[in-house]
Every structure is written in C-alpha cells, then in structure tokens.
Amino acid sequence: MAGDLVEIGAFMGGGTVKLAGYAGKHNRKVYVVDVFEPALDQTVSRGGMTAQTVYEAFLEGRSMWEVYQEATRDFNNIVTIHQDSKKVSFREQQQFIFGFIDGCHEESYVYSDFHLIWPHLVSGGVLGFHDFDYPDWEGVTRAVNLILAEYGDEIEETVEIPGVYDIRSLMLIKKPVISGGTTQLPHR
C-alpha cells in the first residue's frame, strides 16, 4: 500500500525510532509533529497533575528536543515538523498508511490532530490514539468518542490495544473506498 507514517507527539523519540525502523524497510518516511516543549501541555489529570509534570519527571531535567534529536539521529527517513500541530498542514497529495496521535491530551487538540491526519489516510490505513479511555486524560476519550460518532461511516473497524499501567490505544481502520459497486484499495 502507498503511504508514509505520521506521529503527532514524539515525546523523547522512542516510538519514532520504532516507526522509522519499520518504515525504512519499506522505503517510507515518518512525519513527526511536536513542539518539544513540555510546558505547553497543561492538561490536568484526574489526580490534579499536569501533563507537563509527567513529561518533566521522565526527562529528568533534560531538554525534550535534545533527547529526541539524540534518539533519532541515526535515521534519515524522519521528517520532523517542530511546530504546534494545530498550525500544521500537509500537501494535498500526502498519503499516510499509519498515523498515531499522542500529542497534547486536551480534547480540542486530539480532535484537531485527527482532522490533520484523516483526510490523508489511505483506505485500509490505520489511525491510533494513545491514552484512550484512560481516566487521567479524559479529553482524549471525549474527542475519540466524538470522532467515532461523526465518522463512524468511514471506519471499517476499531481495535483496542492494551498497554502498561492500564493505558490503552484505540486503532481506527479506514474503510476502503467504494466506487462503482466494487471495493478499491489505494494504489500499491
């Protein structure tokens, strides 16, 4: 299938490296969108902790941008867009086979990030949301539930993937385009 990969919210680059390794085997790029500034995510958890506090605890005083650069330095198939995801747009021809949203946990950002990727996601492509149905980041679940209600007719299947600490991801598989009564997948 045609299409690159896109990740919104790279944090320290661990997931980016995994995606880039896979994408490189298939001559694909990974587009990464992140501001790399923990202070900008002021989403408050149910327990009263901000996302910024969580990020900074993992960073242990290091710069998120520098940690990301160090983690991804060996890959030449990563296109890093160092910008607020609400200010990003992709050229009309850009296609993605896989997208992953794990940026700002505010409902408006999750909803906006979906709209940044979905129009570029090929039929049969997968779009994932990290922190789905996780009590500390309720904005993610609210946004995803709104998306499911609004775009359900474009979604072939949803798959929940369990993770550590009861943090799950929800994957949406985009329906194939139907043209003239036949199902068509994107160009291969």
At 19 the pLDDT is 97
At 165 the pLDDT is 66
Q: Is the pLDDT of residue 187 over 70?
A: no
Kindly report, residue by residue over 38-86, the tens digit of the pLDDT: 998 888 888 888 999 999 999 999 999 999 999 999 999 999 999 999 9
DSSP string, the chain: ---EEEEE--TTSHHHHHHHHHHHHTT--EEEEE---GGG--PBPTTS-BHHHHHHHHHTT--HHHHHHHHHTT-SSEEEEES-GGG----TT--EEEEEE-S--SHHHHHHHHHHHGGGEEEEEEEEEEEET-GGGHHHHHHHHHHHHHHGGGEEEEEEE--GGG-EEEEEEEPPEEETTEEEPPP-
**Banded pLDDT at 166 (limits 50, 70, 90):** low
At 173 the pLDDT is 97
Instruction: List, in order of start, the domains of the chain with CATH numbers.
Output: 4-184 (3.40.50.150)
Dig out the tokens for 68 from the structure.
């990301």
Regarding predicted confidence, which is higher, 150 or 169?
150
Kindly report, residue by residue over 1-43, the tens digit of the pLDDT: 689 999 999 999 999 999 999 999 999 999 999 999 999 888 8
Contact of 120 with 96, CB cutoff 8 Å: yes
Q: Could you give the CA distance from residue 55 to residue 105 in angstroms, rounded to a whole number?
A: 12
Kindly report, residue by residue over 86-127, the tens digit of the pLDDT: 999 999 999 999 999 999 999 999 999 999 999 999 999 999
